[in-house]
Structure 1
């Protein structure tokens, strides 16, 4: 008769058999009853239409998982069978999990994008505007990559006045995401106008650090406008959606941020020409206004009054002549006497008007500064106005002007003449 064995021994034999036979399994199934434990492990069940098996992914392997497990998700699992002898339970110890139908990285990208979009990370309303003219740029990238050389070359060509600060950063590998996030925070504290976060092209895996949530958080929380410039034009990453501006390449980032110095020169030359043209038109208009005012003055000055008096005298001559002819026709018998009387009256009127005219001309000539100067007279100007001697007081600063000379003087004293 066969000797019995203990339960423990049986479980141990089963453990040895299963773990040595199924040390490398590759299984397809549907996820259910998923538990993310506080210890960092993930517990879940893998099932199909007829059966199910318990699974565990320990914390060390979980770090490599790019996406989050979801109920009902179909996956491929690589791992090994392990048995817990005290209970006789067995499970799959998962080393790697891949989604069925699409790659793990693609799924991880999709999940994180949906999560961040729901949190408002991509909202246009929260994106910060870049300044029109940039004085200082901080670049978060590798100092040995081609990207930094491309950016420096473009910056020197377009706007050599800009200050550029480089923070050497890991841009590839498992430690890259944390390094990028940490350096974004440092860059945000340096008082730059713009931060560029980026690197040159590469595979999806090479660029993956810019798809990590920790990088998106750092970009979202920064106070300085950030430009994401990763890979090539066809590459779209989480950093592109989160940043304030997405540039298709690192060199394109510099072209988008910095103005072309030659275009700026042309702009200011055109601006100056337009300003000069406007000022010329304003001055021309002012000159026309002054000419108009001068003409108005000429029409109303003393010369015009003299001309008016001359016309009045001529008119009186004509009227008296007409009156004389009229009287001669009516009073032919008294022609001689009447003629003498009229001539006397006319001469008296003419003399009176001519005296008025002569007086007016003398007044004009006496008050004409140009003629007064020729006679040895000078006008007194104080604080820009013509004044008389009675207006002056001791210590006044004055100018004595004639048409040819200006003399500056100071009043030393003043007394009245009897």
Structure 2
């Protein structure tokens, strides 16, 4: 009669048989009894219509899991069969888990997108407005990629007045998501007007760092307006939905962030033309008024009235030549004085009108944009409004402008001469 074996021996024999027979298995089922253990291991069961089997994925393999396991989720497991001898339990040791019917990355993307959308990360109420004329922009990207060169090229042609600060960042591979988060937090402290976070094109695996939840949190919590510029136009990342503005490419991000200098040149030319035309109209209207006044004086000619009086005097002379000679002479003198006074008053009026026209012309010439660029002469503006020096106070922040430069300063002394 054969001697009996111990329970431990039987379990060890079963363990050896199962583990050497089921070295590589590929099984599909629905998750149940899911537990994320504090140790980092994941315990769960998979089942079909009539059977259930226990599964475990140890911490070393969970770091390759791109999506979140959920009860009821149908998955495909790649692994091996193992036996826990002290209890005689067998289970699947999971090396790889994929969602059934779709790729892990695509499923992980939809999972995180749904989660963040429910938290309000995509709501327009949280979107910050980009400044129209940014003075400083932080670029969170790789210092060696093609994206940074493309952005520099577009910026130099579009608006060369803006300062750029490159924050060198790892944008793909292991640890990229943590480096992106640290770079965003660092750039957020640089007092920049805009932050551009992104990289050039690549595979979904290359771009995946921008689909991580920690990156989405960093973008959402940043105080600086952020443009997400990852990959090409067809690539959509989680960062695109969380950021304040999404750009189709890094170059497009620069086009969104910066104004077009050529459009502003055209606008300034139109302003100059409008200024010239309005001033010409003012001068023309003043000249028309002066011409009309001259015609009015001609229609009510003083000379005509003088001639009429002169005729009456001549009649009086002939009628009362002897008796009224003195009166006539006196009247003649008064008439001469009156004529002289009227002529002097009219001449003074014409001279005053001419001086006003000359003054307008002089002011136009002095304020013409082509003549503003003189050594030592600048235009003072405060809060985008032209202001005179006498209206300033100590501590005011002003801008000193010439047609080519703008200097921002704070007034620390004001002395009256």
* TM-score, with length taken from structure 2: 0.73
Change (3 A) 1:292 1:37: farther
- Counterparts of 2:323 and 2:193 in 1: how far apart (Å)? 95
TM-superposed CA distance for 1:251, in Å, is 1.9
TM-superposed CA distance for 1:79, in Å, is 1.6
- Counterparts of 2:225 and 2:48 in 1: how far apart (Å)? 50
Aligned partners of 2:313 and 2:328 also within 8 Å: no
Q: 1:359 aligns with which of 334, 351, 366?
A: 334
Counterparts of 1:208-219 in structure 2, within 5 Å, are: 208-219=208-219
Change (3 A) 1:292 1:97: same
Partner of 1:151: 151
- Counterparts of 2:259 and 2:341 in 1: how far apart (Å)? 69
TM-superposed CA distance for 1:286, in Å, is 4.2
Counterparts of 1:253-264 in structure 2, within 5 Å, are: 253-264=253-264
- Counterparts of 1:244 and 1:345 in 2: how far apart (Å)? 103
Counterparts of 1:327-366 in structure 2, within 5 Å, are: 355-356=330-331, 358-365=333-340
- Counterparts of 2:25 and 2:106 in 1: how far apart (Å)? 24
Post-superposition Cα deviations, 1:328-375, rounded to whole Å, max 9, x if no partner, equal xxxxxxxxxxxxxxx9689989986885464143245368659xxxxx
Unaligned runs of 5+ in 2: 346-417
Partner of 1:274: 274
Counterparts of 1:237-386 in structure 2, within 5 Å, are: 237-289=237-289, 304=302, 307-308=304-305, 311=308, 355-356=330-331, 358-365=333-340
Change (3 A) 1:316 1:363: closer
Partner of 1:122: 122
Partner of 1:56: 56
TM-superposed CA distance for 1:60, in Å, is 2.2
Partner of 2:205: 205
- Counterparts of 2:32 and 2:321 in 1: how far apart (Å)? 136
**Corresponding residue pairs, total:** 346
In terms of mean alpha carbon deviation, does 101-110 or 84-93 score higher? Answer: 84-93
TM-superposed CA distance for 1:154, in Å, is 1.8
Aligned partners of 1:313 and 1:350 also within 8 Å: no
Aligned partners of 1:46 and 1:55 also within 8 Å: yes
Matching of residue 22 in structure 1 with residue 22 in structure 2: yes
Unaligned runs of 5+ in 1: 321-342, 371-418
TM-superposed CA distance for 1:103, in Å, is 0.7
CA RMSD of aligned residues (A): 3.3
- Counterparts of 1:113 and 1:61 in 2: how far apart (Å)? 24
Aligned partners of 1:212 and 1:238 also within 8 Å: yes
Post-superposition Cα deviations, 1:185-218, rounded to whole Å, max 9, x if no partner, equal 1111112222111111111101101111111111
Change (3 A) 1:346 1:57: farther
Change (3 A) 1:314 1:297: closer
Query: Residue 234 of structure 1: SS of its match in structure 2?
Result: coil
In terms of mean alpha carbon deviation, does 202-211 or 258-267 score higher? Answer: 258-267
Aligned partners of 2:233 and 2:248 also within 8 Å: yes
Post-superposition Cα deviations, 1:1-33, rounded to whole Å, max 9, x if no partner, equal 221222222222222222222232111111112
- Counterparts of 2:54 and 2:23 in 1: how far apart (Å)? 16
TM-superposed CA distance for 1:122, in Å, is 1.5
- Counterparts of 2:68 and 2:132 in 1: how far apart (Å)? 41
Change (3 A) 1:178 1:347: farther
- Counterparts of 1:367 and 1:2 in 2: how far apart (Å)? 153
Query: Residue 170 of structure 1: SS of its match in structure 2?
Result: coil
Change (3 A) 1:76 1:296: same
* TM-score, with length taken from structure 1: 0.73
Aligned partners of 2:11 and 2:88 also within 8 Å: yes
